[in-house]
Amino acid sequence: MDLTFTPHQQEFRAEVRDWLAANAPAEPLPSMDTAEGFERHREWEHRLAEARLAVVSWPEEYGGRGADLIDWLIFEEEYWASGAPGRVSQNGIFLLAPTLMAYGTDEQKRRHLPRMARADDVWAQAWSEPESGSDLASLRATARPDGDGVGWRLNGQKTWSSRAVHADWCFGLFRTDPESERHRGLTYFMLPLETEGVTVRPIAQLDGEHGFAEIFFDDVYVPGDGVLGELGQGWKVAMATTSSERGLTLRSPGRFMATADRLLELARESDDQTLRDAAVEAWTDSEAYRLHTFRAAARLAEGIELGADSSLMKVFWSELDLRMHELALELLGPQAPVAGRWLDGFLFALAGPIYAGTNEIQRNIIAERVLGLPR
């Protein structure tokens, strides 16, 4: 076991820290769920990309540095500690990109990844449907072969699509085999949201912002190269990367370490012993998440797949994040309702146990795949 960083890693950390100190906006940007805030966040992504800091773990040809997982974790620690803006491109760079790198054709990778890295294209996801939330495999949106013999016609409705109001492209699952049921007969599609027949209807969130949207598909044409991976293998394609790095990259420890460190600052000012102890416990949990991630990185380096571990991690970080924000609001007391960043963070943290597979679904996965209990 070696918990020190190499000179190279320390240099990289210093570079990231110095660059962020010099370049990160001094004031928080407007919400990325407003038109103005979205474009400001996109500009910020351009600056990150110019410093080749947007996607450090990607290959150089797509805008990255070919950095390993440890470097990426270092980047994340520095990024969140600096208070830099949230990542408007995150659905693309963390959810789609690993799948694209694993299953995309060379042409698809060349076309999409560099633009994604620069946030020239911001991607929204199109998974859930009004009748298919946790039970995603019941989805009904369809894709049928077009008369031209190469393209597809998409029909149906997707919902809870984060950032879709202002995003450029979307990716998601559609049923290509009308006779199929459940996980079979689904195909992974990518298409521009500007395509004729696509209607995006904003949904106001708990905070009043249009953070997510419904997407209606009315006979939308998608060319053949809009299919990612094999026809009918969409479920496998979408899930395949969960046991690899994506299990780690959905939420890195840096974000929660930064929150826990800020929580300690509040607790240091408090004489409420219950809240002080709770803050210390939350800090300990953020440390546990960091160490667990380093351990998972070591396992991946040894060639061991994470498997359902990503479900353990998702429950842990989402509940930790929410608990830390609840605690912060308690520590702030009468100031809580006007506590800007903490309040925004609390509202965002509330969604954590819901998105990316609810924590109830994750607990089922843990019980069945980690503990081996019967379905």
| The one among 55, 139, 186, 312 contacting other proteins by CB under 8 A | 312
Q: Which residues contact 355 (CB under 8 A, 6 or more apart)?
A: 160, 162
CA pair distance 210, 196, nearest whole angstrom: 22
Near other proteins in 12-41, by CB under 8 A: 13, 17
If the CB atoms of residues 61 and 265 are measured against other proteins, the closer one turns out to be 265
CA pair distance 203, 201, nearest whole angstrom: 7
Is 245 one of the annotated active-site residues of the chain? yes
Q: Give just the sign of the alpha carbon dihedral 112, 117, 119, 120.
A: negative
* 281 contacts other proteins (rule: CB under 8 A): yes
CA pair distance 346, 325, nearest whole angstrom: 5
Given the residues 76, 245, 269, 302, select the one marked as catalytic.
Answer: 245
Give strand pairing partners of 156: 217
* 141 contacts other proteins (rule: CB under 8 A): no
Q: Which residues contact 327 (CB under 8 A, 6 or more apart)?
A: 263, 275, 278, 279, 282
| The one among 1, 22, 150, 338 contacting other proteins by CB under 8 A | 1
Determine contact, residues 98/64, Cβ cutoff 8 Å.
no
Rounded to a whole number of angstroms, the minimum distance from the CB of residue 263 to other proteins is 10
* 258 contacts other proteins (rule: CB under 8 A): yes
Q: Among 108, 105, 236, 123, which Cα is nearest to 173's?
A: 236
| The one among 36, 148, 261, 305 contacting other proteins by CB under 8 A | 261
| The one among 158, 175, 276, 325 contacting other proteins by CB under 8 A | 276
If the CB atoms of residues 119 and 315 are measured against other proteins, the closer one turns out to be 315
* 330 contacts other proteins (rule: CB under 8 A): no
Per-position DSSP letters for 171-205, written without gaps between them: EEEEE--TT--TTTTEEEEEEETTSTTEEEEEE--
* 340 contacts other proteins (rule: CB under 8 A): no
Near other proteins in 78-137, by CB under 8 A: 78, 81
Rounded to a whole number of angstroms, the minimum distance from the CB of residue 19 to other proteins is 14
* 361 contacts other proteins (rule: CB under 8 A): no
Near other proteins in 58-77, by CB under 8 A: 70, 77
- Residue appearing with tokens 């950390």: 13
CA pair distance 297, 309, nearest whole angstrom: 12
- Contact pattern from residue 282 through residue 311 relative to other proteins, giving x for each residue in contact according to CB under 8 A and a dash for the rest: -xxx-xxxxxx-xx-xxx-xx------x--
Rounded to a whole number of angstroms, the minimum distance from the CB of residue 87 to other proteins is 18
If the CB atoms of residues 47 and 292 are measured against other proteins, the closer one turns out to be 292
Count Cβ atoms within 10 A of the Cβ of residue 6 and give its class: 0-12 exposed, 13-18 middle, 19 or more buried.
exposed
**Alpha carbon 257 to chain centroid, angstroms:** 17
Amino acid symbol at 242: T
Site residues for other proteins per CB under 8 A: 1-6, 9-10, 13, 17, 70, 77-78, 81, 254, 257-258, 261, 264, 267-268, 276-277, 279-281, 283-285, 287-292, 294-295, 297-299, 301-302, 309, 312, 315-316, 360, 362-364, 366-368, 370-375
Positions marked active-site: 245
